[in-house]
Amino acid sequence: MILTAHQPVYLPWLGLFHKIALSERFCIFDIAQYQTKDFNNRNKIKTNTGPIWLSVPVESKDHLKKKLCDIKIVNNGWNRKHFKSIDLAYRKAPFYADYIAELETILVSTTYTYLADLNLATLEFGLKALGINVPIDTASTHDFQGNKSDLVLDMCKKLGATSYIFGAQGNNYADVDSFLDCGIKVSFQDYKHPVYPQLHDDFEPYMSVIDILFNVGPESFDVLMSGNVRAFA
């Protein structure tokens, strides 16, 4: 069983969906510590004035000491502002009508208390739109032990993985030998961002997945995977 994991992030970018598509099981690693100026609560969309950040406000008391699963949202109207920004940026995109209603349900019609729940909803939206059907686990419902590489290894053991896909930054901390000693193969993702038609002049990479969906529509998965590994042995 090929496993991969990632922290819950808001309106994820293409690389996360590529990593999940290569796996047979995905674990939302919501026991990681919350980080500021990361993608835990923000991501980018492309507008007629260039890329902008959409950031979800969170409660700041002791937030740097909390796990991601414990981070609460400040519901001050941010969601309607995000939806308005998305509408203005993409209403002229060729496949806008195909996805906007479901996105509106997530952002406007539903109120979330915890950031991880919102992030899961945006992830599931992207997976469904891309046709990626991979079972999802949540780390906070398990008792994974250890730090850094050992923590990932314990997750692999308890979830029955025979292979694990690290992101590119995994090279900085993964103890590959310890995985191999346990009979678990290790791979490292090296995602090459594709170029596709966009609104608003020159191409901008590293946008939220909604950018490719609104612009490319049903071809989004093939474009997302193009030029990249489609399977790990």
Residue 167 has pLDDT above 70, yes or no: yes
Beta bridge partners of 186: 164
On whether the CB atoms of residues 78 and 93 are closer than 8 A, the answer is no
Whole-angstrom distance, CA of residue 133 vs CA of residue 116: 20
The pLDDT value recorded for residue 35 is 87
Higher pLDDT, 220 or 35: 220
- With b for 16 or more beta-carbon neighbours within 10 A and e for fewer, the 64-77 pattern comes to eeeebbbbebeeee
Percent of residues, the chain, with pLDDT higher than 70: 100
Residue 172 has pLDDT above 90, yes or no: no
For 215, half-sphere exposure in the C-beta direction (CA atoms, 13 angstrom radius) is 22
The pLDDT value recorded for residue 62 is 80
Residue 3 has pLDDT above 70, yes or no: yes
The pLDDT value recorded for residue 103 is 97
Per-residue pLDDT reduced to its tens digit, 26-52: 999 999 999 888 999 999 999 999 999
Rounded to 10 deg, the angle between the 209-216 and 96-107 helix axes is: 150
Percent of residues, the chain, with pLDDT higher than 90: 87
The pLDDT value recorded for residue 61 is 83
Pairing state between β 42-47 and 50-55: antiparallel
Neighbours of 137 (CB within 10 A): 17
Per-residue pLDDT reduced to its tens digit, 131-142: 999 999 999 999
Per-residue pLDDT reduced to its tens digit, 49-99: 999 999 999 998 887 788 999 999 999 999 999 999 999 999 999 999 999
Mean pLDDT of 147-176: 92
Residue 232 has pLDDT above 80, yes or no: no
Residue 233 has pLDDT above 70, yes or no: no
Distance of CA 66 to the CA centre of its chain: 20
**DSSP annotation string for 161-222:** -SEEEE-GGGGGT--HHHHHHTT-EEEE----------SSSS---S-BHHHHHHHHGGGHHH
Question: Could you tell me the CA-to-CA distances from 215 to 2, 82, 103, 131, 179 in Å, in that order?
Answer: 31, 18, 15, 16, 40
Residue 166 has pLDDT above 90, yes or no: yes
**What average pLDDT does the chain have?**
94
Of 168, 139, 165, 170, the residue nearest 154 (C-alpha): 139
Pairing state between β 2-6 and 25-28: parallel
